[in-house]
Amino acid sequence: MMRSHLIKPILDEEYKQISHGSGVYLYDTDGKKYLDGSSGAVTCSIGHGVKEVINAMHDQAKKVSFVYRSQFTNEPAERLAEKLAQLAPGDLNWSFFVNSGSEATETAMKIAIQYWQEKGKHQKSKILSRWMSYHGITIGSLSLSGHTERRARFVPLLDANPVISPPYCYRCPFDRTYPGCQLKCATELETAINRIGSDHIAAFVVEPLVGAAGGAIVPPAGYYEKIRDICDRNQILLIADEVMTGIGRTGKMFAMEHWSVQPDIIALGKGLSAGYTPIAATLVSDSIIEPILTGSKLIMSGHTYSANPQSAAVALAVLTYIEKHSLVEASHSKGIFLLNELQQFKKKFTIVGDVRGKGLLIGIEFVSNTNTKLPFKKDCKVTNLVIKQAQINGLLIYPSTAGIEGVSGDAILVAPPLTITETE
Ligand code: PLP
């Protein structure tokens, strides 16, 4: 057999090759069929092989595939920015296009810092974040990420540290119970601000539901309202990293809408193009753009492929498809059905400790003892075993981590395309 020179996630592992996809199914070159139960990496939210998206890609390729953003604007990028301004809550009217979720969160960091610089507050440059979080793999976005395993090798390069505990009720970091806890996980932000000094802090970044580093953790009621209030009182911007939760995944177009809390900046990725081509976006509110518009006028960031017309045309076709088929509403109603079905696992399997989520973003946390909630030892690799067996059975699911931060923890994400039917 010819040796592969493709660097794969695990270099010496044999990966099956996918030949094609259709709807919620993928097919490998041996003809095996897989139900895409996690939309790849919570990405392919409208399923595979959607004709409208393929046509949009083809039509745009016939016109032009690359335009350099420093020389020209282009029609699909302009239209996509308009569309996102229409869909986004409140005055989040501005879009900066990039190519991955990591770039979107890193751009959010940069814009937050620049905003305060334009207002003459040069010291406001720290970005606070939570443990048990994932904001990306580039050094800036990894700095914010409270994902111990992904940070470990690069700690000397990482500039920031997550400082806030996650809003993780199943295993409360403060050993309290809601509502008697009085949302200590939120008020801890204020304690951190007081310790560091708000004069040094530009923004606080959150994943509305914790995805890859938490297994779809849903914060308790009132949490985000309190966080917004703390940010406002301390003049700190709130960044919502909706790379995983955005574009209908949780049953709302943007997950922060579940709590009617408007962030100042939103990072989008994954579902924006549903995996058809790389594109991500940083959405910025009028009030954050204003001092830049009247100040230096230049956001000091950008990539060669930013605002790529091909990718923008695809994202527009994906958003049109989502609206046409009411997939945000579908994510809500199918999510209720699926969550209810998966809740039964707690009775059926002794290793299922918790099942949680919103819309079609559902996490299952595995524990060695459901009474004590003790996680499995790290070397048990329960998540890997479950995922491998599911794949053998023809079901794809996404690995996540949860459990006791810095010790161990296992979880999976079930996040099928929003187009899935109840039977599927
Ligand atoms: N932010 C969140 C919440 C994510 O889930 C991810 C990826 O899983 C990222 C950022 C990074 O996105 P990407 O892998 O596209 O760089």
Mutate to test the pocket of ligand 1, among 243, 256, 265, 282 (most ligand atoms within 8 A of CB): 243
Q: Which fold has domain 18-50+326-414?
A: Aspartate Aminotransferase, domain 1 (3.90.1150)
**Angle CA(324)–CA(262)–CA(118) in degrees, nearest 5?**
120
Domain 55-324, CATH class in plain words: alpha beta
pLDDT tens-place values along the chain, 424 residues long: 678 899 999 888 889 999 999 999 999 999 999 999 999 999 999 999 999 999 999 999 999 999 999 999 999 999 999 999 999 999 999 999 999 999 999 999 999 999 999 999 999 999 999 999 999 999 999 999 998 888 989 988 887 778 899 999 999 999 999 999 999 999 999 999 999 999 999 999 999 999 999 999 999 999 999 999 999 999 999 999 999 999 999 999 999 999 999 999 999 999 999 999 999 999 999 999 999 999 999 999 999 999 999 999 999 999 999 999 999 999 999 999 999 999 999 999 999 999 999 999 999 999 999 999 999 988 888 999 999 999 999 999 999 987 776 556 799 999 999 999 999 9
**Percentage, residues of the chain above pLDDT 70:** 99
Distance 372 CA to ligand 1 centre (A): 32
What are the pLDDT digits (tens) for 215-224?
Answer: 999 999 999 9
* Residue range(s) in the chain whose domain bears CATH number 3.90.1150.10: 18-50+326-414
Tell me how far the alpha carbon of residue 243 lies from the centroid of ligand 1, in angstroms. Answer: 6
Pocket probe mutation, ligand 1, options 39, 44, 102, 130, max atoms within 8 Å of Cβ: 102
Q: Which of 203, 343, 223 is nearest to 266 (CA)?
A: 203
The owner of tokens 């459901």 is 370
Distance from the alpha carbon of residue 249 to the mean position of ligand 1, in angstroms:
14
Q: How far is the CA of 284 from the centre of ligand 1 (A)?
A: 18
What's the 339 CA to ligand 1 centre distance in angstroms? 23
Residues lining ligand 1, judged by CB closer than 6 Å? 41, 100-102, 105, 134-137, 207, 211-212, 241, 243-244, 269
Give the angle 195-196-201 at the CA atoms, nearest 5°.
140
- Name the residue with tokens 């518009």: 293
Measured N-to-C along each axis, helices 51-63 and 309-324 cross at an angle, to the nearest 10 degrees, of: 150
Task: Please write the tens of the pLDDT for every residue from 290-325.
Answer: 999 999 999 999 999 999 999 999 999 999 999 999
Mutation pick for ligand 1 pocket among 135, 139, 209 (CB with most ligand atoms within 8 Å):
135
The amino acid present at 128, given as its one-letter code, is L
Give the Å distance between the CA of 38 and the centre of ligand 1: 14
The CATH 3.40.640.10 portion of the chain extends over 55-324
Measured by CA distance, the residue closest to atom 13 of ligand 1 is 101
Strands 265-268 and 352-358: unpaired
pLDDT at residue number 189:
97
| Token pair recorded at residue 147 | 């994902």
| Interface ipTM above 0.95 | yes
